Amino acid sequence: MKEIILVKNGELVLKGLNRSSFEDVLIKNMRRHLEDLGEFKFTKSQSTIMVEAPEGADLDEVAERLGKVFGIAAYSRAAVCEKDMQSIVKTAREYLADELSLVSTFKVEAKRSDKKFPLKSPEICRELGGALLKKFNHLKVDVHNPDVTVTVEIRDTHAFVRGNNIKGAGGMPTGTSGRAAVLISGGIDSPVAAYMMAKRGIELVAVHFASPPYTSELALIKVMDLLKKVSAYCGTITTYVVPFTEIQEAIRDYCPEEYFTLVMRRIMMKISNIIAENQNCRALITGESLGQVASQTIYALQCTDSVAKFPVFRPCIGMDKDEIISVSRKIDTFETSIQPYEDCCTVFTPKHPRTRPKPQDVEAAESKIANLDEMIDAAVKGAKRRFIKAAGV
C-alpha cells in the first residue's frame, strides 16, 4: 500500500502574502532533515504539504525526523488509494486496522477538494463509517470526542485515508527569523534557551567559553553533545569555542572578588558581540532566569546588558527551574546537562557575590584589567570554529 506524509504548517497560515516563502523555507528544512534517506518529493496544497518518500524508505524514521522540524504544527501518515468508495473502504479497513482495534470510539471526516467526486462529504462519512462499524464491531461512533478521527481526503488524482494527526514541533521554520548567537554552557538552562529561540525560527550560532586546564576536554565534549541534541531540531549550528583561561586568570588576579562573575559575564558579552557581528547575527541568547543566582538578579542583568550591542533574548527568564527541566527532558538534553563537569563559571566563583551591584562599581572592577581590549581581541582570534550537527540535519 502506498503511503505519504501530510504536513500541516500551522502558524504559517498567519503570514499572508509571505506564506509561500515561509513554506519554501519549511520544505528546504524538511529536505535537509531527510537528506540521507533519499530523494523526497514535496507538493504544496492549501495549508498542507504532501511528502512523498522514495521507494523503500523507512517511514517510521521519516516521521520521527519530521517530528523535530520547526514550523510543522501537525502531521500524519496517510494511505493513498483510488478515488472510489470501494477502494476507500478497503484501504481504511486495512490501513487503520491496528489503530482502530486499540480504541473504542471514532468518527469519520471527509474533505472533498475534488468537487466532481460523486458522493458529498456527509455521504462519504456515512458510507465509510458504516463499513468500519461492520468490520470492527467493538467500535462506537462519537462525533464530539472520538479516540480516532478517520479522515478521507478526495484530491485531484487520488484519495488519502488517515487516522489521527501527530502533533508536530510547532514554531516557525528555522531561518525565517534571522540569526542569533547563543551563549552556551554545559548547564541545563542554555540548551533550553537555544531550543526555545530556534523554535521561533532563529538560526543559531553558538559561543562557548572554555578555560582549560580549569575546564576539561570532557566538559567541552559535553557542550558539543548538547548542541548536537539541539541541532536535531534546527540544523547545523556553527559553534565558536573561545579560549577564556587568560581572561579568567586576569579577572582573578586584578578584580575584587565580589565582582568576579559579573565582570566575567560582561566580558563574555563583549566577545559574543564581536562574534555575533561577524556572523551576521541580530541578537544574543542566554539561559538566564531571573533571580536564579546572584548574577541573574535584575541589578546584575542590567550590568551585563549595558555592554550588549544586540537585544539579549532570555527565554528562560520567567521560568522556574522545574519548568526549564521539563523542557530539557522533552528535548533530551537533561541527562547530558547533569553530567558533573565543571564550567568556566564554576571556577574562581566568589564566596559573597554582589546581588545588587552598581554599574559604576562593576565597570571600575573591570577597568582593573589593564589590557582587556587586547585580551578580548586575542580570544576572538583564538576561537575555534566547529560545525555541530546531529544525524539527518
Nearest residue to Mg ion, by Cβ distance, number only: 187
- Does position 293 interact with ligand ATP (CB under 6 A)? The reply is yes
Our CB check for ligand ATP shows the closer of 151 and 295 to be: 295
Our CB check for ligand ATP shows the closer of 345 and 390 to be: 345
- Does position 191 interact with Mg ion (CB under 5 A)? The reply is no
Query: Which residue from 89, 128, 172, 188 is in contact with ligand ATP, where contact means CB under 6 A?
Result: 188
Contact between 83 and 159 under an 8 Å Cβ cutoff? The reply is: yes
Of 173, 167, 172, which Cα lies nearest the Cα of 75?
167
- Does position 295 interact with ligand ATP (CB under 6 A)? The reply is yes
Segment 165 to 184, residues that bind ligand ATP, using CB under 6 A? 183-184
The least distance separating ligand ATP from the CB of residue 345, rounded to whole angstroms, comes to 4
- Does position 295 interact with Mg ion (CB under 5 A)? The reply is no
Residue 177 contacts which entry, Mg ion, ligand ATP, none (Cβ below 5-8 A, type-dependent):
none
Q: Where are the beta strands (DSSP E) in 53-172?
A: 72-81, 105-112, 140-141, 148-154, 159-162, 166-170
Distance separating alpha carbons of residues 152 and 203, to the nearest angstrom: 37
Segment 248 to 287, residues that bind ligand ATP, using CB under 6 A? 268, 286-287
Positive/negative CA dihedral, 275, 278, 279, 281: positive
Query: Which residue from 129, 187, 191, 235 is in contact with Mg ion, where contact means CB under 5 A?
Result: 187
Residue 328 contacts which entry, ligand ATP, Mg ion, none (Cβ below 5-8 A, type-dependent):
none
Distance separating alpha carbons of residues 41 and 138, to the nearest angstrom: 38
Neighbours of 161 (CB within 10 A): 25
- Does position 241 interact with ligand ATP (CB under 6 A)? The reply is no
- Does position 163 interact with Mg ion (CB under 5 A)? The reply is no
Q: Cβ contacts of residue 275 below 8 Å, gap of 6+?
A: 181, 205, 207, 240, 242, 281, 380, 383
- Does position 185 interact with Mg ion (CB under 5 A)? The reply is yes
| Stretch of residues binding ligand ATP (CB under 6 A), selected from 32-40, 116-124, 144-152, 337-345 | 337-345
Distance separating alpha carbons of residues 70 and 174, to the nearest angstrom: 6
Contact between 40 and 47 under an 8 Å Cβ cutoff? The reply is: no
Nearest residue to ligand ATP, by Cβ distance, number only: 187
Our CB check for ligand ATP shows the closer of 29 and 295 to be: 295
- Does position 187 interact with ligand ATP (CB under 6 A)? The reply is yes
Contact between 83 and 117 under an 8 Å Cβ cutoff? The reply is: yes
Helices (H) and strands (E) in the chain, counts: 14, 15
- Does position 317 interact with ligand ATP (CB under 6 A)? The reply is no
Of 216, 232, 215, 222, which Cα lies nearest the Cα of 190?
222
Verify cis geometry, omega within 30 degrees of 0, for the bond prior to 118.
no
Residues that bind Mg ion (CB under 5 A): 185, 187, 343, 345
Residues that bind ligand ATP (CB under 6 A): 183-185, 187-190, 207-209, 268, 286-288, 292-293, 295, 343-345
